[in-house]
Structure formats: C-alpha cells, structure tokens
A and B are shown apart, each in its own frame.
Chain A
Amino acid sequence: MINPIGNLNKVFESRIRLGIMSSLMVNADLSFNDLKQTLEVSDGNLATHLITLEENGYIKVHKGFIGRKTNTTYSITKAGEKAFKEHVEALEAMIKNMK
C-alpha cells in the first residue's frame, strides 16, 4: 500500500505559503501588494514566507521599478508548479482513502 502522507510537502504546511502558491498558480506574476491584499497578511509575515519559498526554488523574484518606486513581482517556477501539484494530489488522495 502506498503511503499518501509521504507525498505531502513540508514547505506547504503553512497556510500562508500554500496561499501564495495558490495565487501564483493562476497568475503569471503578482506584486507584493497583490499578494498582501489577496491573503490579508502583514508585510513582515508575507516577506518571511516569500523568502522560504524562494529559497526552496518554488518562486522567482523580479525586482523592477515603476518610476522611482520599487516594484517587486513574484512568479512560480517549474519546480514550484510541480511541487504544488503533487501536494494537492496527495491531499486529494488522502481524502479518497478516508472515504
């Protein structure tokens, strides 16, 4: 028998990290403020989780400017997409096995 829990990704245990990944799955890129508004979290909290995801290679950071203001946008990487899909599939498999 396959152990479905083995496929769950530790990095996605945090609700905020999972939220970031969910948003980036359906948007080509999002700014820090877009993410903040969607997930309703504080700046510091969001920044910490974004760094974790970046360090794992799941998201890419693009630093740009709009006029003089910095405009940082985030997008999902191939590895991030794959990891997220596997995580969701594992969750779904767990539900199926329980029924």
Chain B
Amino acid sequence: MNEKNQPIETTLHDIKSIMERSSRFISLSGWSGVAAGVCALAGAWYTSTQIECWRRGDCQFDRLIGEDGLHFQSTLLRIALVTFVVALLSAFFFTYIRSKKTGVPIWGHTARRLTINVTIPMLIGGLFIYRMMDLGFFALVAPACLLFYGLALVNASKYTLGEIRYLGYGQLVLGILNLWFLGYGLYFWAAGFGILHIVYGLLMWWKYEHAD
C-alpha cells in the first residue's frame, strides 16, 4: 500500500513545485534586502545631517541660494536618487549571485513579470511624490514613500517569495502611523526602508539560503 502511495504524493508535490517555480521569481536573495536596508540607513543619516545644517543656516548652499528652499529640495532629491540607485544595484548584485545558484535565469519571464508589477506602483508613487514636493507638502513625502512602496510589495508577493507581503504590510503600517506623526518622517522612513529591509533580509536568508 505504502509503496503505491509514495509516487502519487511525489507526483502531486512535483506539480505544486513546478507551478511555484514557473510563476514566481524565487531567486530574490535575503542579502539584497540587507544591502538595500544599509543603503537606506546611510541615506537617511546623511539627509539628517543636511537637514540639521540647513536649519542652522550654516551650509554653503544655503548662503548661495537664499531662503526659498528650492536648492534644498534638489539636494534632497539628489540624495534620494543616489540612495535609490546604490540600493537597487546592490540588491541586484546579490540576487544575481543567487540566481546563478538556483539556476533561474535573472531575466526570465518570472523576473520580468515581477519587475513590471513592482515598477508600476513605484513609478506612479515617484511621480506623485515629486509633484507633492513641488507643491510644498514635504511632511507627506516620507509617508507617501512608505505607502506606495508597501503597496508595491504586497502586489509583488504574487510574483516572488510570498513572505514579501509581510514586509509590505510593515511599510504600510509605518506609513499610516507617519500620517499622524508628521515631522518625524525621516525616522519612519529609516525604520521602514532601513530596519525592516534588514530584518526581512536576514529572515529570508535564514529561511531559504543558509542551508546551502
């Protein structure tokens, strides 16, 4: 009885695993999360030093441009852009290495689908935040980042490791809390993009990668 039972269970297991493998990008490395988190913390720390020096009015650029804050805004944008690019590249690096190990192509149909579905909410969010800064709603920038990113992650969870959904929920909770603690945006931002990424990355590494 048992000998006959075995192959059917294996067959059903195979079916499930093929369905998983062919529809989700499973090579997302935990180290990518850690790396992105470290970049975010570095970016947030640098931003806080810039804000501090802008407030005191002893920054060089402040003297040059005056008080309209336009120059300050472009400084913030530049820091954000550098942080984003470095985080993305380092995240890509670790996932690339992982994809070599799992044998899943880095630009296969699962990776493409994941990218498209993350990019749509992120692009819209980026545009929204950019316009918000134009109109001077600086206090809403951090919560908007957290909320759009959280939604992007919840959306992404259908196309990669399902656990990323919880990282998304974490970002959403921080984003919503931040709406009622405006002015502490940088702390919420650092907690979400920095600490949550690192914690998530370590957990995923522990669950999927430390065995091999």
From A27, A31, A88, B15 is in contact (CB under 8 Å) with A88
How near does chain B come to A26, taking the closest CB pair, in angstroms? 4
Secondary structure type dominating chain B contacts:
helix
B18 near A31: Cβ-Cβ < 8 Å: no
Number of interface residues of B (CB under 8 A): 19
- What are 13 sample pairs from A and B whose C-beta atoms fall under 8 A apart? A19-B18, A23-B18, A23-B22, A26-B22, A27-B23, A30-B109, A37-B104, A37-B108, A38-B21, A38-B22, A91-B8, A91-B12, A94-B8
How near does chain A come to B200, taking the closest CB pair, in angstroms? 25
Secondary structure type dominating chain A contacts:
helix
A64-99: CB near B (< 8 Å → 1, else 0) gives 000000000000000000000000100110110010
A66–B164 CA distance with the chains assembled, in angstroms:
33
How near does chain A come to B170, taking the closest CB pair, in angstroms? 27
Closest to B21 in A: A38
A91–B23 CA distance with the chains assembled, in angstroms:
23
Closest to A21 in B: B15
